[in-house]
Structure 1
Amino acid sequence: MLTISAKEMKDVLYELFKKYEFTESKANLLAEVFTQNTLYGVNSHGINRVPYFIETVKKGIVKVNEEAKKIEAFGNIERWDGNQGPGIINAVTCTNRAIALAKKDGMGLVALRNTNHWMRGGYYGWQAAKENCIAILFTNTQPNMPAWGGKESRIGNNPFVVSIPRKEGHIVLDMALSQFSFGKINNYKLKGEQLPYHGGWDEDHKLSKNPENILKTEQGLPIGYWKGSAFSIVLDMLATLLSAGNSTYKIGLKEHETAISQVYLCIYPEIFHDQDLQHTLINEIINYTHDVTPSEKGERTYYPGERAANAEKHNSKNGMKVNKEIWQKVLSLL
């Protein structure tokens, strides 16, 4: 492993994205998001995804010069078309729009179609929380999990994000509906380690902890088994219906994952004029969760986003641990 500072990573990535003809502002935003994702300890959707992202640019899957545009509005609900532009840039744009609608009307929803992978959904949760907005965000994906009771992949691991602003530290839940995101599974593969729990099925349709076997089949295990399967189906339905975009089924007909559907819902809690009460209620829940006997020595409980915030502080001070092969691959693309 190498230790890379946030400044060094952002500078390298900025030059890389400029090379592939992104404008200065877009190259800067992409470099910022990929670096921030790594800084928060999510290498799987940060630096590790950069080579994949460049590959999608080379293949024309990500259209460098396209941007998300509003196509319909229904009060504080809007539909946007991503025009297959960069998923990160489209996601930042639509999160900002949902925030603006929320601050105007108390709640705002933007449904986006025809976009690309947003990388780490949690980034946009933090983005909303920093603007003092609650956010509920989700996306569909290509089929990469079997619906419960079936063998072939028919549902997506549809990442789901909930964020709640808080003075002492924002609450940000960022989870795929598979037991492990495929980026996380690839992390274990890069480290030559087995998964700590079953993460999907192998070619014999047996549950496996072997990351290579699961990556080969692209058959992740839904969280909560049948419950995660149902959750995935419902999120796919909502993203597809609200955006009038592609479902996981339609996405799966394409050679590569693209033209996916997403939802950005923001709520502005200041409309209730009881910020002190909100603060008390949130901390009451956190304190109750923290004040518990650890299940194992050295263990403790965390609220969603707490580990990520701790990782950001540590990595800002000490630098980020990066897989040497991944970093060399990124440098070779310059």
Structure 2
Amino acid sequence: MELRVDAKEMQTVLNQLFLKYGFSENKAILLSETFTENTLAGINSHGVNRVPVFIEYIKNGIVKIDAEAKKVQTFGTIERWDGGLGPGIVNARKCTSRAIKLAKKHGMGLVALRNTNHWMRAGAYGWQAAEAGCISILFTNTKPNMPAWGGKDSRIGNNPFVVSIPRNEGHVVLDMSLSQFSFGKIHEYDLKGQKLPYVGGWDKHDQLTKDPKSILGNERGLPIGYWKGSALSMVLDMLATLLSAGSSTYKISSRVHETGVSQIFLCIYPKLFGDDQLQQQLVDEIITYTHDVAPMKPGDRTYYPGERALANTIENSKNGMTINKEIWESILAL
């Protein structure tokens, strides 16, 4: 069953919740804002739905509420930071801000973060960079939840990947996991009692399936592009691990819970080129060209990355966010 909740109400409830669990006032505001923004964008799977799990991680001592990312090494425009196993959202916001600052000073800045926790909706930090006028390339490794192509057991992560491009009429923000469906999205389908629209992973009989419960039980997601997604997952894991001197998916697999992940925050400041009008024109002509096409089916249309998230935010700000009643009641109980 679903219900509608106003964004202001959600943010107030979540702020009180995070204060109750010992967060400072500033961190409670940052967390409640980010979880609410993610839900406003229609990404419940990495917004409100993740709050109970986040609280469990705090109770279990996996997320250190007082820890915060700190710089440990500097190499010109590249920096290494250590998250101290603090809240992933807080660490990611801070490292995105630092990468933006480096980019605005040098044209490009990269922050490689180790020992952090789940950053929830990866795209939130792409939007943050775009709002600051920066192009961004961001990614994280995860626990193993996909088989490497040709293998049976999960050995690679679905390593969420973000590219954002600032644009006057709506930022372009690609936010995708390297599994056909993120596991948060699979869980969302399961909550609704629905099948996936396409196969999303393997069941216990090694058959590709649309059944979310079967995939969640095995945590064997299907890589995007089959062998291509498998290879891309490995390379992103290698880059995140090498640049941060942090943990790989292999190391993360040895832990009971997914923690101590490695993340990359790369920002570029395009205003330094001095041709902002041309940049907007070039991006707009690509969007116009892809929009101007006959639909495959009546009622269908094309979207640029981030277009639907922006539309959802506008719609949900007016009419409230549709969320799972059971999830909301569990948050109120907390």
TM-score, normalised to structure 1, is 0.99
SS of 1:114's equivalent? strand
Question: 2:318 matched to which residue of 1?
Answer: 317
- Cα distance in 2 between the residues matched to 1:205 and 1:67: 41
Map 1:19-168 → 2, pairs under 5 A: 19-168=20-169
The whole-number CA distance in structure 2 between the counterparts of 1:141 and 1:75 is 28
Q: Residue type matched to 1:79 in 2?
A: R
State the distance in 2 between where 1:278 and 1:30 align. 33
Residues 217-262 of structure 1: per-residue CA shift (max 9 Å, x gap): 0000000000000000000000000000000000000000000000
CA distance in 2, matches of 1:224, 1:253: 27
| Aligned position for 1:238 | 239
Moved over 4 A (4+): none
The equivalent residue for 1:228 is: 229
**Partner SS for 2:42:** coil
Confirm or deny that 1:183 pairs with 2:223: no
Give, as a single letter, the amino acid of the residue that structure 1 aligns with 2:213: E
Question: Is 2:244 the counterpart of 1:248?
Answer: no
Secondary structure of 1:163's aligned partner = strand
Give the match for residue 194 of structure 2.
Answer: 193
CA offsets, 1:114-133, max 9 Å, x none?
A: 00000000000000000000
User: For residue 291 of structure 1, what is the aligned residue in structure 2?
Assistant: 292
Letter in 1 for 2:21: Y
Q: Does 1:275 align with 2:238?
A: no
Q: Percent same amino acid among aligned pairs?
A: 69
Query: Distance in 1 between the 2:125 and 2:162 partners?
Result: 8
In structure 1, what is the Cα distance between the partners aligned to 2:279 and 2:134? Answer: 13
Matching residue's letter, 2:78: I
Match of 1:212 in 2: 213
Query: Letter of the aligned partner of 1:126 in structure 2?
Result: W
User: What is the CA distance between 1:106 and its match in structure 2?
Assistant: 0.1
Instruction: Give the aligned residue type for 2:187.
Output: N
- Paired residues in the alignment total 333
* Secondary structure of the corresponding residue to residue 129 of structure 1: helix
Q: Structure 1: which amino acid aligns with 2:96? A: T
The unaligned stretches of length 5 or more in structure 1 are: none
Q: TM-score, normalised by structure 2?
A: 0.99
1:186 maps to amino acid:
H
Distance 2:263 2:92 in 1: 9
Q: Displacement of 1:276 after TM fit?
A: 1.1
Between stretches 149-158 and 272-281, larger displacement belongs to 272-281
Deviation at 1:212, TM superposition (A): 0.3
Distance 1:192 1:247 in 2: 34
Ranges in structure 2 where 5+ consecutive residues have no aligned partner: none
Question: Displacement of 1:296 after TM fit?
Answer: 0.6
Query: For the residues of structure 2 that align with 1:209 and 1:6, how far apart are their CA atoms?
Result: 32
* Aligned counterparts of 2:110 and 2:291: Cα–Cα separation in 1: 33
User: What is the Cα deviation at residue 288 of structure 1?
Assistant: 0.3
Cα RMSD over matched residues?
A: 0.3
1:256 is paired with a residue of what secondary structure? coil
C-alpha deviation, 1:168, in angstroms: 0.3
1:301 aligned partner: 302
Partner letter of residue 291 of structure 2? H
Report the Cα distance in structure 2 between the residues aligned to 1:28 and 1:2, rounded to whole angstroms: 24
Per the alignment, residue 173 of structure 1 pairs with 174
Counterpart of 1:53 in 2: which secondary structure?
A: helix
Give the match's secondary structure for 2:163.
Answer: strand
